[in-house]
Structure 1
Amino acid sequence: MSLRTRIGQFLAFIGRSLIWSLHLGVFFYTLLIYYLIGRLPAEHWLASMIMITLPVAWLMLVLLGLFWLFTRPWRSTLSVIGLLLGYWLYPRTFAVHASQADAHRTGAFSLLSYNVSVFGLEKYYDDTLHREPRGTRLMSNWILAHQAPVKCFQEFFVGKEMPAFQMSDRLERAGYRYKALLHPKEAEYIGVATFSRFPIINHGEHVFSSFNGMVWTDIQIGQDTIRVINVHLQSMGIRVRKVFQEDKMSGVKAETRSVLEALKFGFKSRQGEVRVVEACIAESPYPVIVTGDFNETPYSVVYERLRRILPNAFEDAGHGFGFTLNRAPRTIRIDNQFYDPRFEVLDFQVHRDQPYSDHFPVEGRYVLK
């Protein structure tokens, strides 16, 4: 055997050893995430940071498993074991449900939730002529035409700049006579808003920060009353695309540090805010639906805490991955609806055909059992 062959074999051995060490590390890291999500032993922001990386860990297990499949097949079983142990998290990742034939049965109603991103206000001011953005007009027309009797909005804006920004009046003329706002006394309004064709017999609000907050409404539907909790938890405040747009390493480091700081602040804020939501659920004398922009993925403290109280509509009646973010990184679901077990969820949709906000609208259809 030549010296070159021996050196090649030695380097190949070192390479395989390093990859196997990486594989073991990813495997135990994935088990740590399962433990953090399943038991919630710590709600520290660092634990939250680890939990949201689960899809990356899964992807690494798949790629490493495929690598060993063609070199050392028995080692690929480590990936299989790691993926199988996470089976209980698959329903919150991918849903396979056919629309029910009785989705329009008597007593059923739809609830639409939409982060409208202030109806494209920044585009209006970016235009030197201050013309109505096409996306704003299409978004507002779609909202008015949609037939859901209860509509919940986040980053809802009311202004006098143009008709598309006068959505509160337009919704009222369209039959949504009842409403509740996060800042009801402000003339120009940005925040959480709920509109209903059914009577709102009681309501309340809780401000988290600026336009982030919670509006709860007790809505009378026929002989029944339900509580709808419309929330917008602390925003992530990050723009991943900015990191990749930087030309210099110093700029990349600065943007990355900014993203991590925003994530840390967001995790800490939302873990306090979710307790306010939990208290509102516990105090409700009526069946509850919690909807809105949670700014948390399905592998998070907030999602897990709410899921332990209420089922998730996407998991029980959704389709596909259900991604709701319409900007980078896109492949996440942060808009949700959780519902009281006294309801039956008939269908849940993400309206990905409405690309005019940085979120897609979500809609659940329910009936009281």
Structure 2
Amino acid sequence: MGRTISKTQVYAMQENQQQLPCISCTTFNILAPIYKRLNHEDESCRESEYRGCWLARNNRILDWLLFEKSSIICLQEFWVGNEELVNLYEKRLGDAGYVHFKLGRTNNRGDGLLIAVKKEYFKVINYKELHFNDCGDRVAQLLHVELTSPLSQCQNNEILIVNTHLLFPHDSSLCLVRLHQVYKILQYVESYQNECQLKPLPIILCGDWNGSKRGHVYMFLRSQGFVSSYDTAHHYTDADAHKVTLF
């Protein structure tokens, strides 16, 4: 779980019967080389020790991302601790017309988040970082963007985009920690809108949620009015709760 690529069309707007460009979003846990095991019998053998391996794999990831040309890209387990890999992503995404922001986990854990948006579709209004300061050293990114013309002709021309990676539920005792992480995100988003005196804006929550339809995080977000794009894309309903799906 958590490695699945989820792509959904967020908006599809029409004017005078003419189809305008769609906004799409790709969220992807790219598995940091410091965590990727090359030999499952030897946990100490990690991809980070073999430059050729992690460099080739991340170039393939970038090839795929740039081929998809998503309007919004949210990555988790981005290896912020390696300057060469960071430069690779910044160069290729920048050359492709993306503006991007990265955020490492607290306590120098080595990995973190990256969020990128197409400059032709969005004007960045503000960027914020949220540190949970908990046992998992998890973080979240908040990006406030404005749609550019001709997409700006829609009723809501501003969007809040969130990118995060929740703690993995190694045991049931961590359920409350995970719920608290989600609560912090929603509380932060609400505070940001109030401080900026914004009217309620569309919110896109992206990330590796490390959970299923049966999980407390999924049910809590549903109770707050959020809809799972993964479920929508796969036509899943609440009756499919036995299936392991990502939110």
For the residue of structure 2 that corresponds to 1:220, the secondary structure is: strand
Contact between 1:118 and 1:190, CA under 8 Å: does it hold in 2?
yes
Contact between 1:230 and 1:290, CA under 8 Å: does it hold in 2?
yes
Corresponding position of 1:181: 102
Corresponding position of 1:270: 178
After TM superposition, the score normalised by the length of structure 2 is 0.67
Q: Distance in 2 between matches of 1:301 and 1:187?
A: 29
Corresponding position of 2:66: 144
Contact between 2:13 and 2:20, CA under 8 Å: does it hold in 1?
no
Q: CA RMSD in A?
A: 3.5
Q: Distance in 1 between matches of 2:181 and 2:163?
A: 13
Q: 1:277 to 1:127 in 2, by over 3 A?
A: closer
Contact between 2:144 and 2:158, CA under 8 Å: does it hold in 1?
yes
Corresponding position of 1:131: 52
Q: Distance in 2 between matches of 1:108 and 1:305?
A: 29
Corresponding position of 1:287: 202
- Deviation per residue, 1:345-365 (Å, 9 max, x gap): xxxxxxxxxxxxxxxxxxxxx
Amino acid at match of 2:147: I
- Deviation per residue, 1:294-351 (Å, 9 max, x gap): 1121112211111122222233x312669xxxxxxxx6223x3xxxxxxxxxxxxxxx
Contact between 1:113 and 1:292, CA under 8 Å: does it hold in 2?
yes
Contact between 2:28 and 2:74, CA under 8 Å: does it hold in 1?
yes
Q: Distance in 2 between matches of 1:163 and 1:196?
A: 19
1:225 to 158, 176, 188: 158
Q: Distance in 2 between matches of 1:174 and 1:187?
A: 29
Corresponding position of 1:314: 230
Amino acid at match of 2:223: R
The CA deviation at 1:129 is 5.7
Q: Distance in 2 between matches of 1:278 and 1:181?
A: 20
1:116 to 26, 30, 47: 30
| Larger RCO, structures 1/2 (Cα 8 Å, 6+ apart) | 1
Corresponding position of 2:141: 215
> Unaligned regions of 5+ residues in structure 1, if any?
1-98, 237-261, 323-330, 337-369
For the residue of structure 1 that corresponds to 2:185, the secondary structure is: helix
Contact between 1:120 and 1:135, CA under 8 Å: does it hold in 2?
no
The CA deviation at 1:268 is 2.2
- Deviation per residue, 1:208-227 (Å, 9 max, x gap): 35662211100111231100
In terms of fraction of residues, the more strand-rich structure is 2
In terms of fraction of residues, the more helix-rich structure is 1
After TM superposition, the score normalised by the length of structure 1 is 0.47
Q: Distance in 1 between matches of 2:50 and 2:110?
A: 23
Equivalences, count: 200
Contact between 1:160 and 1:166, CA under 8 Å: does it hold in 2?
no
Identity of aligned residues (%): 19
Q: Distance in 1 between matches of 2:125 and 2:105?
A: 16
